[in-house]
Amino acid sequence: MAVCSEKEDFLEEFGQDYGYPNAPRNIDQIRATEFKRLDGVVHLDHAGATLYSESQMEAILKQLNSTVYGNPHSQSSCSLSSSDCVQKARQQVLDFFNASPSEYSCIFTSGATAALKLVGETFPWCNQSSFMYTMENHNSVLGIREYALRKGAAAFAIDVEDTDSNVNSQSHQSAFKISHNPVQRRSEAGMLKEGSAGNIYNLFAFPSECNFSGKKFNLDLVNIVKEDSESILDSSLSQRGHWLVLIDAAKGCATDPPDLTKYKADFLVISFYKMFGYPTGLGALIVKNEAAKLLRKAYFGGGTVAAAIADIDFFKRRAGVEEFFEDGTVSFLSIASIHHGFRVLNTLTMSSVSRHTASLATYVRKTLLALRHKNGEHVCTIYGVNTPEILPGKVGPIVSFNLKRPDGTWYGYREVENLASLAGIQLRTGCFCNPGACAKYLGLSHADLLSNIEAGHVCWDDQDILNGKPTGAVRISFGYMSTFEDARRFIDFIERSFISFPSNGCALRARSVPPLIKGTEKTTPLYFLKFITVYPIKSCTGFGADHWPLTSTGLLHDREWLLRSASGEILTQKKIPEMCNIKTLIDLKLGILFVESPRCKEKLQIKLKPNMSIGMRDEIDIHAQRHEVQSYGNEVNSWFSDAVGQSCTLLRNSCAVSYACSKGNSNTGICKDVDAKLNFVNEAQLLLVSEESVADLNNRLRSSTQKGSYGERTEVSTMRFRPNLVISGGEPYAEDGWKSLVIGGEYFTSFGGCNRCQLINIYLQGDKVQRSNEPLATLAAYRRVKGKILFGILLRYEKSVDKDSDAWVHVGEQIFPNVYSH
């Protein structure tokens, strides 16, 4: 009932704009018939790639299955069909942007980036030219700067802010507030000879909509820069040559395509999969015919010249703009499919798409800005918008933000992304390839950026907070098929995961377990070792043992081997889930590691005693450790290649040396063991899990009535967590408070909780590998601290009480927590 009431309130405010009330089908009908695959999934990354509809793909397949298309660089009937289809597609693109074919041409490219690259590499730069661009620009636009600087041109960024003044006022300076950043030049650049003002050309590039903040740029900038540049630029720049303007509409064209009749840009760049989902790998450069004549294209490929002579310096270019700039055969089958995408948008109308998506984005912005923690502190900081009240046409259907804890510290965007994925919500995090907007809105100075780079931060890594500041943001974006239910489910996720959560960030129980006192017969509660499991090959199935020897690396032979792909990547179940089908067993008496797989007829036998004459020695880096490794011959490697379905090699650890330290975070109760000798483990020598803790988790799984994306939640076994040691006794999560323990006279140190990942959601059902959102989704609801989802504790083996005897652990031995060695 609450959701119904919220939707009623939403429709009362946005009912005229939401849901296509005047279209043949409303939004609920569209979702029910065209996007059945979204059942259980909330897709909120339409700025990255929107979705294709079912009828769109059916129409494409019907067309391709009923028509024979040939290479358009021929004169056969099939080729002429392709040429005709391509020409109609060009006209449809021009019509979409109100561009007259007498004034503009449509050049198909492999994407928006290729279109931008084409402008950059063919633009008539000279040492008197300037490349001006807004701070809020995609990296693909910033890349044009390299062409300009290498030819000796100047390059500089500007910040553009609209004012409340009328753009038609006598002074354009009153309509825009423009801030200039320092001019960049390269003294070593090969400068072209200076020319007169008549043949000096400058380029200004800006997006119609920022893909970071959603800010829509005032397209009057096109006409101002081209016709009245002195009103907004320094005199030294405005009086030097002619200004051409490029609009990057890759994001903006999906909801608000620029009208080239009103805003006569020289270049417009678009991407089709951002508009209607399919095809990918296809974009276009819409170029003014007069501007195309200025471009200096050197290379020519198949189909771009009218004639060429092989053994002398002669070629004649084709007269058509498109023909000359489209090297090789265009992707004519993909081009044939865009008609069906345009049909979808034209049926809805772009004004309706714009209003529909804007209503959802506005609703989410208002809701996020209103969220408060129990102490009254704001939960959300939204970038690009300072108030809930947004003027129409100022912001696109993007909401970029970061979340704060009650104490004012930031939640990392990677934590938000991981939890969203578990909740079936697909969004985007980072800087979205827009470094200028990222630095601007996050308040990152040049010193901050350089410090982050020196700390090793690069795009797409997990370093989301450095020096107390976010390095990126969370972004959601809406498409024409997005619904109120998508927006509401996202809001519910934020409220459930980042507000209702306890203020300390975790519900972990840190118990103070009384230390063992000499002379006492027993302690209460009692703990016993229930299972021992050894995993000889990293990410493969382990085997149980009643007793097993301990060494300086933990359990003997545990994670002593791993598989490496032909490209050098370490193989794990995260990417190769079938590795859980590979079973292992070690017979210490025979000195043999047995390995079997359902994909291999023969069981593999590997001698434990190293054979120095077989294989080679190498060094690899993994998890801040440098390992000296031994490789194996073709027979062993071929067996494992068959087992995992790709070429790989088996490597054995010979020696490991720690060369980098991962500092523990006292606030999270976890840290990485960087002092011990390690095999191919992620964090520490051993992992301990409690049966009582697993039982509590299963109770939570059973009691929950919510279904995950893959069906009913089911119980999990202790083996799902790949523990080395399973204990019984005591209360759930008592192990969280252990600093050390003794098992059968052997001392171990605890390094706190084990940070869990998607690996525990992979399991075998019969011989088939299955994926689920559980148990990680449930654990995230009550075992999360500072972005980590903790379950089980990490251990390091210290020493034996009896130094003269061999060190072993045995099933059934009693465990004494918080007993310290002397």
- Residues carrying an active site annotation: 433
> Which secondary structure element, helix H or strand E, spans residue 399, and what is its range?
strand 398-403
Q: How far is C-alpha 410 from the geometric centre of its chain's CA atoms?
A: 19
Place of tokens 């294989």: 615
132: nearest Cα among 190, 188, 206: 206
Residues 250/258, Cβ–Cβ less than 8 Å: no
Give phi and psi for 734, each to the nearest 5. -60, -30
User: Cβ-count burial of 223 within 10 angstroms (0-12 exposed, 13-18 middle, 19+ buried)?
Assistant: middle
CA Rg value for the chain: 31
- Assign 304 to helix, strand or coil: coil
- Upstream peptide bond of 257 is cis (omega within 30 degrees of 0): no
Q: How far is C-alpha 777 from the geometric centre of its chain's CA atoms?
A: 19
Residues 744/808, Cβ–Cβ less than 8 Å: yes
Q: Angle between the 446-454 and 435-442 helix axes, to the nearest 10 degrees?
A: 110
CA dihedral 153, 154, 156, 160 (to 10 degrees): -80
Distance between CA atoms of 641 and 93, rounded to whole angstroms?
48
| Residue 685 DSSP symbol | S
Distance between CA atoms of 504 and 85, rounded to whole angstroms?
62
Residues 476/417, Cβ–Cβ less than 8 Å: no
DSSP assignment of 568-621 equals: SPBP-TTT-GGGGG-EEEEETTTTEEEEE-TT-SSPEEEESS--TTSS-EEEEE
Residues 685/725, Cβ–Cβ less than 8 Å: no
Q: Work out whether strand 768-771 and strand 762-765 pair parallel, antiparallel, or are unpaired.
A: antiparallel
Q: Most distant CA pair in the chain: distance in Å?
A: 101
**409-418: long-range contacts, CB 8 A cutoff, minimum separation 24:** 409/468, 410/465, 410/468, 410/469, 410/470, 411/498, 411/787, 412/464, 412/465, 412/470, 412/787, 413/464, 413/470, 413/472, 413/473, 413/474, 414/462, 414/464, 414/787, 415/464, 415/787, 416/474, 416/498, 417/474
Burial readout 790-821 (b: 16 or more C-beta within 10 A, e: otherwise): bbbbbbbbeebeeeeeebbbebebebbbbbee
603: nearest Cα among 640, 653, 652: 640
Q: How many CA atoms lie within 13 A of 227 on its CB side?
A: 10
Q: How many CA atoms lie within 13 A of 246 on its CB side?
A: 30
CA dihedral 401, 402, 405, 410 (to 10 degrees): -160
* The two structure tokens encoding residue 303: 């189909």
Residues 302/329, Cβ–Cβ less than 8 Å: yes
Amino acid at site 268: L
Q: Which residues pair with 426 in a beta bridge?
A: 43
* Total Cβ atoms within 10 A of residue 747: 20
* The two structure tokens encoding residue 749: 């140190």
Q: How far is C-alpha 118 from the geometric centre of its chain's CA atoms?
A: 27
Distance between CA atoms of 304 and 107, rounded to whole angstroms?
12
Give phi and psi for 87, each to the nearest 5. -65, -40
Using CA atoms, how far residue 379 sits from 158, 402, 406, 440, 500, in Å, is: 31, 9, 8, 21, 11
Distance between CA atoms of 296 and 121, rounded to whole angstroms?
8
Amino acid at site 232: I
Q: Work out whether strand 154-162 and strand 176-180 pair parallel, antiparallel, or are unpaired.
A: antiparallel
